[in-house]
Amino acid sequence: MNEPFLLSNLVELQDLDNKIYKLIDSKSNGENVLHLKSMEINYKEFSEKITENKKELSEFFIKKADNEKKIISLELQIKEIEQKLSGDTLDPSETLNYSNQKESLKIQINKFKLEVEELKEQNGDQLKVMNDQENSLEDIKNQLINLSKIVKNEWDKIDKQIPDLEKEKLEFISTFPDELKELYDNLKKRGLEVIAAYRNDNQCGCCGVELTSSEIEQILESKFQQCSYCDGVVI
């Protein structure tokens, strides 16, 4: 059955199929998708590093939180004393007493503040590393959000394109004789990379094998012009 027109339709069908495949594939292997995937890995790694660092610095963070709590409570006490001191019902000895208490509270506050500062200095290197990591994590997070939006848009576009191509393919296939449909499906099922292609001088367009003139003759005489090496349809 040498009907070049129909056989060349196989090439077109294959092109359509390839277009659909490429679109579907780009949803999981597109440049931005791959970038997104590697950024997600990066994000996870940084999160883990930060968690690790936090664990190592846990004593520092506990002490810091504890001191800060104490400072807040002491500051409240100072406020209460200041309120009392601003009233006019205190006698001089009470005033002196409250003033002394206030001074002593201030000294305690300073002591706790100093402790935190000293601890910060002791753990300075590690805290800086962690701070940098947290900044990087924030950067990655923002990039991830932006890239996710871009990828989602790309996917939406692809999802709109695929049904059109599928429809075009179905309509196109419906013009094919059954046996050509079957041939195409069978070769595709077998995983043939190039199902149909034009001959390149003496080369099979599908597998690239150099064909002798008698082989070419044989192919042209065969029912579907199939290459004896790869089974692809040579046009």
Contacting residues toward Zn ion, per CB under 5 A: 204, 206-207, 227, 229-230, 232
The nearer residue to Zn ion, 7 or 230, going by C-beta atoms, is: 230
Secondary structure (H, E, C), the chain = CCCHHHHHHHHHHHHHHHHHHHHHHHHHHCHHHHHHHHHHHHHHHHHHHHHHHHHHCHHHHHHHHHHHHHHHHHHHHHHHHHHHHHCCCCCHHHHHHHHHHHHHHHHHHHHHHHHHHHHHHHCHHHHHHHHHHHHHHHHHHHHHHHHHHHHHHHHHHHHHHHHHHHHHHHHHHCCCCHHHHHHHHHHHHCCCCCCEECCECCECCCCCCECCHHHHHHHHHCCCCECCCCCCEEC
- CB of 233: closest distance to Zn ion in angstroms? 9
The nearer residue to Zn ion, 60 or 229, going by C-beta atoms, is: 229
The nearer residue to Zn ion, 130 or 206, going by C-beta atoms, is: 206
The nearer residue to Zn ion, 74 or 204, going by C-beta atoms, is: 204
- CB of 203: closest distance to Zn ion in angstroms? 8
* φ, ψ dihedrals at 57, nearest 5°: -95, 15
The nearer residue to Zn ion, 74 or 206, going by C-beta atoms, is: 206
226 bridge partner residues:
233
Report residue 218 as tokens.
Answer: 């044989």
Interatomic CA distance for residues 78 and 183, integer angstroms: 91
- CB of 156: closest distance to Zn ion in angstroms? 39
- CB of 216: closest distance to Zn ion in angstroms? 11
The nearer residue to Zn ion, 10 or 206, going by C-beta atoms, is: 206
- CB of 234: closest distance to Zn ion in angstroms? 7
- CB of 209: closest distance to Zn ion in angstroms? 5
